[in-house]
A and B are shown apart, each in its own frame.
Chain A
């Protein structure tokens, strides 16, 4: 495990999570959450879990984001 890459990924995770919580445009929140999941997938490869990385990249960054975007598209985009 490369500690510098690990540190960078953890920082990126916290940043994207904070941005996803702060933003008020829900579509942007869904996209930022997709970036969060992708960082999590890279972190799984650092933790020697290739199965988890594959699943997270397909499910977390792919399917979950599509479900969120579909719901936001059919309801409201603004958080109020």
Chain B
């Protein structure tokens, strides 16, 4: 009975969606309304105004800078919520049940991860964050890959090893770099009396202006990347640890 009611409601919603899709302009068309107003200008002047060859990066860091600020706030709030619910891990003492069982992951997994880990980190930092304005990539993409690489390391070598390598006192300042770096670069513009997130500051001209702009964008990209990556890592560590397997500091470790 309940299932029939749900299916009926879904049928009505689906019919409404299909009706709306039938009224939409054909996909792939160049004359659809979304591509005729502001987009030609973004595509033509994006490199000049946004300061990045990758126009998506230009849109994220310049035209729609407030969106990005909101996004950074959202992931930081998510970290706060997860930590409030599940608590932080203790350095070298927190374990998950696979760590507590004492069975190590296979030698193949550990060797592959040991060789792949530096390559993935290099890819994330050098290709994604530092070169994000000229090719596909950028802060969030690099941060996601950085976080994923450390998560792979944790799955292969266990939580105590990971928390010893990346202790809490290193991660806590890094978690806030994303939002602090972004706000700092945005407020520089306000201090000069121009808009939030303006990279071309008044009083700076010529080659110097280009250097300043590239420097500011790099600071934002690397800040968002490192901050976002470390936030993902902290969320996974908080979800991995289990209270009942926690070691006591005074008990000698097995």
Q: Point out residues on A near B: beta carbons under 8 Å.
A: 1, 49-51, 53-55, 58-59, 62-63, 66-67, 70-71, 73-74
Contacts and interface: CB of A to CB of B under 8 A. Distances in A.
A4 to B, nearest CB: 15
Contact of B232 (A53, A63, A71, A73): A63
Contacts of A67: 235-236, 239
B136 interface: yes
B198 to A, nearest CB: 23
B148 A63 contact: yes
Interface stretch (B137-145, B169-177, B202-210): B137-145
Contact of A51 (B28, B54, B232): B54
Contacts of B136: 50-51, 53-54
B141 A63 contact: no
B155 interface: yes
Contacts of B141: 51, 54-55, 58
Contact of A70 (B137, B140, B240): B240
Interface residues of B, number: 23
B128 interface: yes
Interface string B147-158: 110010001000
17 contacts: A1-B28, A51-B54, A51-B138, A54-B136, A54-B141, A55-B141, A55-B144, A58-B144, A63-B147, A63-B151, A63-B236, A66-B151, A66-B155, A66-B236, A70-B236, A71-B239, A74-B242
Interface string B97-134: 10000000000000000000000000000001000000
A59 B136 CA distance: 16
A54 B239 CA distance: 24
A63 B240 CA distance: 13
Contacts of A74: 97, 242
Interface in B50-87: 54, 56-57
A27 to B, nearest CB: 14
Contact of B151 (A1, A49, A62): A62
A43 to B, nearest CB: 13
B197 to A, nearest CB: 19
A53 B232 CA distance: 18
Contacts of B28: 1
